[in-house]
A and B are shown apart, each in its own frame.
Chain A
Amino acid sequence: MAKKESGNVILAAVRGFFGAIGGFFSSFGTAVAKGDFATKLSLLWLGAGYARRRQYVKAVIMTVLEAAVIWFTFGFALNYVPKFGTLGTVEPEVVFNIETMQNEYNDFDNSFQILLFSLFSFVVWFAAVIVWMKNVMNAYELQKKAERGEHINTFREDLHSYIEEKFHITLLTLPVLGIVVFTFIPILLLIFVAFTNYDQNHMPPSTLFTWTGLSNFLSLFGGGGLTVTFGYAFVRVLGWTLVWAFFATFTTYIGGILLSVLLNSRKTRLPKLWRTLFIVTIAVPQFVSLLLVRNFFSNGGIVNTICANIGLTGFLRNIGLVSTSYIPFLSAPGWAHVMIILINIWIGVPYQMLIATGVLMNLPTDQLESARVDGARPFQVFKSITMPYLLFVTGPALVTDFVKNINNFNVIYLLTESVYTTTNQAMANSQAKEVDLLVTWLFRLTQDYYNYKMASAIGIIVFVICAVFTLIAFNSMIKGDREGTYQ
């Protein structure tokens, strides 16, 4: 039942979205059909409608904008977009120029620039088309106003509207532009690169790269003959990523709730002091605390010395858990996996404690009071009132946390980079390690091995995984739209 409802909500959202687009087009159609000469002329000359209604400043602005888009198209975009299909064909060559008597580079293609600037041009053109359609509609509105004999705004009044009823446009323009340029376009770019052969052998500007279709995904899933190892490493890394995300999420979640219940108990003396002590661990930046812990547990580190002194190392060697003269806390598979999850508890539980404390403070006290009057034991209160309430409030956040942990770069990278070396040849061939998450693998592939094509393909896979969990979270959030339950 609940599932059906949430499905309907998403369906309604999709329908609303397409409905809005349909409405946009139909009002554009009306504007073109019913517009007078000036309105129709503004299909060609963007300023026409405004000029006809004596809004000369606006007419000039729109004309300049139109000229800018035309200049952009012919002066910039057309240098790159026609080559989008091939991503460039002219290799760089040194030729002897007779006029200057010097060796010079020819006019070669840069595949990456072609890809990036084509993409950029598409976005600009898309925006220009929207502005063009909107502009005709505006001209039609002005025409109707003039026919009804209403007052038409002067430029000063138009400007003033941007701190009045159109203030939201003033507020939102820059932030939205920032998000489009630094989140939206990069994601598009990433998707395109995954279908090319952009790697260390195809690095612009010295060499070209080109479209290769699905071959990166094939080799990632073990299809392509040459890189079977990529498929192997991918399955291993994906497996550990999911295991890690599961344990990291649940251990810190449960630990955080227990700790906050412990600290908020009436038996606790000096709760503020204790809370501050726990917060200190997360207030220290992660690059300090994690790098420190990495050395704390290093092969020749202090913990190993202590373990050797109290005989723990010898004991573990006798029962066969350790084959070296030290305990490889962060440098052997198995050990490292467990240690990473334990260290994550250390760093993650105080965070969850803070969140759970905030939620517990809003716990409806009348329910607790009546439970106590009815003679419920503390454990019963926790099980039947506190826990369901916490789950209700923080449940959807669990899924979000899971997604965040899939991408938890800091913990893995700071703890294992340059400490953990893999002995598994198949993993090493694809530059992966047993303790890598998909994102740390991706980071290494781009930063150290310039293997952008595989990194992008992995990025898309991470994207898809996150999208699936995101949808689940989104659904359960809509499902959990019963805010009245605890009010």
Chain B
Amino acid sequence: MEKKMKLKENRTSSIVLHNLLIAVLAFIWLIPIVWLLCTSFSAYSGMNTSTFFPKEWSVAQYVKLFHPDTVAQFPQWFLNTFVIACFTCVISTMFVLMVAYATSVMRFPMRKPLMNMAVILNLFPGMLAMIAVYFTLKSFNLTNSYVGLIMVYSASSGLGYLIAKGFFDTVPRALCEAARIDGCSEARIFWQVILPMSRPIVVYTVISSFLGPWMDFVYAKMILNAGISSKYTVAIGLYKMLDKSLINSYFTQFCAGGVLVSIPISVLFVIMQRFYVEGITGGAVKG
């Protein structure tokens, strides 16, 4: 009896220790995020270097964010990024789903060679083609234009088809056969049979291609390099706020902007993760 009690005590203490360890880790992981939140509510516009928490709390910096000056034009940046993200989202979702469907459901002679080439191209990061893309866009006068940026984000998106293909692979072929016998064309099978069944992966693709431009820094930095504040995306705008000459008057606004842009992105990101898991596990059950 006594031994059992002791065992149980042992178990409880090990559970407490276990959860305490996780709590400590989570605490470390969240320190910078908490600092971001707190600093954004500071009354002082520069960087507070003496205390962790701001000395005076206020929402003044959030208010300032919506009253743009020549440097900080947050609403304009937000709008720019939103427009770019919408176009990119439509084009790359189409490309990804089209390539995934063609390689998963259709059978044609070039299928294997194309997929092998995609594997090789996929393993070379897009970073390398970037400077050459920049040369090319420059000679067509497409730098500092949203058209160029949208093209860069979405043109090669077909290469990221593997996750969606993995999902389409699990959709039972008998369904397609049945539709074909009923006289359905291949295009209608795609639109009216497969796509409605693939909601998780469609949502996942839509969100991930919408998030691309919001999360990106490099391409925007390279292509929007003329230094006109009203044309920036959020990423470039916030980056410019931390220039050595500006950081002392804009650091808190940077934090406020960072919080504002992070909230919708985080929400979308978490939703995307859920659909991803649903797509993977749902697929496994069906297959």
A interface residues (Cβ-Cβ under 8 A, vs B): 13, 17, 20, 112-113, 116, 160, 163-165, 167-168, 170-172, 174-176, 178-179, 181-187, 189-190, 193, 259, 262-263, 265, 267-269, 274, 276-289, 291-293, 295-296, 298, 300-302, 304-306, 346, 350, 354, 358, 361-362, 400, 403-404, 407, 409-410, 413-414, 418, 439, 442-443, 446-447, 452, 455-456, 459, 462-463, 466-467, 470, 473-474
Q: How far, in Å, is B121 (CB) from chain A's closest CB?
A: 6
> Scoring B residues 191 to 230 as 1 if CB is less than 8 Å from chain A, else 0, what string do you get?
0000000000000000000000011011000100100000
The distance in angstroms between the C-alpha atoms of A289 and B187, with both chains bound, is 44
Interface-located stretch among B63-71, B82-90, B257-265: B257-265
Partner of B125, one of A174, A283, A413, A466: A466
The list of the 10 closest CB pairs from A to B, nearest first, reads: A175-B158, A186-B132, A178-B155, A163-B187, A283-B266, A167-B186, A288-B258, A182-B155, A283-B269, A171-B102
For B25, B50, B243, the residue with the greatest tally of chain A CB atoms inside 10 Å of its CB is B25
> Scoring B residues 21 to 43 as 1 if CB is less than 8 Å from chain A, else 0, what string do you get?
11001100110110110000000
- A288-B262, A291-B254, A295-B251 given; A300·B49 CB < 8 A: yes
Residue of A nearest to B186 (CB): A167
A452 and B135 form a contact (CB under 8 A): yes
- Chain B residues with CB under 8 A of A175: 95, 98-99, 157-158
- Chain A residues with CB under 8 A of B258: 284, 288, 291-292
23 A–B contact pairs at CB < 8 A? A113-B139, A165-B186, A171-B98, A171-B190, A172-B99, A174-B98, A178-B155, A179-B159, A182-B129, A182-B151, A182-B155, A182-B156, A184-B121, A274-B22, A288-B36, A288-B262, A289-B33, A296-B35, A298-B47, A361-B281, A407-B128, A439-B128, A443-B222
Interface-located stretch among B2-10, B11-19, B166-174: B11-19
B123 and A186 form a contact (CB under 8 A): no
- Chain A residues with CB under 8 A of B218: 409-410, 413, 443
A409 and B186 form a contact (CB under 8 A): no
- Chain A residues with CB under 8 A of B269: 279, 282-283
B128 and A179 form a contact (CB under 8 A): no
Partner of B129, one of A20, A190, A280: A190
The distance in angstroms between the C-alpha atoms of A423 and B75, with both chains bound, is 40
B178 within 8 A of A: no
- Chain B residues with CB under 8 A of A281: 29-30, 32-33
Partner of B30, one of A280, A293, A462, A473: A280
- Chain B residues with CB under 8 A of A404: 125
Residue of B nearest to A13 (CB): B116
The distance in angstroms between the C-alpha atoms of A459 and B132, with both chains bound, is 10
B277 within 8 A of A: yes
B1 within 8 A of A: no
Task: Give 13 new A-B contacts, CB below 8 A, not counting A165-B186, A175-B95.
Answer: A160-B185, A182-B151, A183-B126, A183-B156, A265-B18, A274-B22, A285-B261, A301-B47, A346-B32, A407-B125, A409-B127, A418-B244, A447-B225
- A178-B95, A182-B152, A354-B273 given; A288·B187 CB < 8 A: no
- A288-B262, A292-B255 given; A277·B26 CB < 8 A: yes
B132 and A190 form a contact (CB under 8 A): yes
For A182, A274, A361, the residue with the greatest tally of chain B CB atoms inside 10 Å of its CB is A182
- A288-B36, A470-B120 given; A186·B129 CB < 8 A: yes
Q: How far, in Å, is B185 (CB) from chain A's closest CB?
A: 5
Q: How far, in Å, is B232 (CB) from chain A's closest CB?
A: 12
B119 within 8 A of A: yes
How many residues on chain B are close to A (CB under 8 Å)?
90
B215 and A286 form a contact (CB under 8 A): yes
Q: How far, in Å, is A478 (CB) from chain B's closest CB?
A: 11
B99 and A278 form a contact (CB under 8 A): no
B133 within 8 A of A: yes
Residue of A nearest to B126 (CB): A183
B132 and A302 form a contact (CB under 8 A): no
Residue of B nearest to A455 (CB): B131
B106 and A181 form a contact (CB under 8 A): no
Query: B residues 40-97 with Cβ under 8 Å of A?
Result: 47-52, 95
Q: How far, in Å, is A202 (CB) from chain B's closest CB?
A: 14
A295 and B19 form a contact (CB under 8 A): no
Q: How far, in Å, is B95 (CB) from chain A's closest CB?
A: 4
The distance in angstroms between the C-alpha atoms of A172 and B102, with both chains bound, is 7
Q: How far, in Å, is B19 (CB) from chain A's closest CB?
A: 5
- Chain A residues with CB under 8 A of B215: 285-287
> Scoring B residues 145 to 180 as 1 if CB is less than 8 Å from chain A, else 0, what string do you get?
000000110111111000000000000000000000
For A13, A183, A446, the residue with the greatest tally of chain B CB atoms inside 10 Å of its CB is A183
A179 and B155 form a contact (CB under 8 A): yes
For B50, B154, B186, the residue with the greatest tally of chain A CB atoms inside 10 Å of its CB is B186
A171 and B133 form a contact (CB under 8 A): no
A178 and B29 form a contact (CB under 8 A): no
Residue of B nearest to A274 (CB): B22
The distance in angstroms between the C-alpha atoms of A269 and B218, with both chains bound, is 40
The distance in angstroms between the C-alpha atoms of A59 and B123, with both chains bound, is 42
The distance in angstroms between the C-alpha atoms of A164 and B123, with both chains bound, is 33
Partner of B134, one of A116, A296, A446: A446
Partner of B277, one of A262, A350, A358, A409: A358
B136 within 8 A of A: yes
- Chain B residues with CB under 8 A of A262: 18, 21-22, 25
The distance in angstroms between the C-alpha atoms of A346 and B26, with both chains bound, is 11
Q: How far, in Å, is B149 (CB) from chain A's closest CB?
A: 12
The distance in angstroms between the C-alpha atoms of A350 and B136, with both chains bound, is 37
Residue of A nearest to B100 (CB): A171
A403 and B125 form a contact (CB under 8 A): yes
- Chain A residues with CB under 8 A of B114: 172, 176
The distance in angstroms between the C-alpha atoms of A263 and B18, with both chains bound, is 9
B139 and A116 form a contact (CB under 8 A): yes
Partner of A302, one of B30, B52, B123: B52
- Chain B residues with CB under 8 A of A172: 98-99, 102, 114
- Chain A residues with CB under 8 A of B101: 171
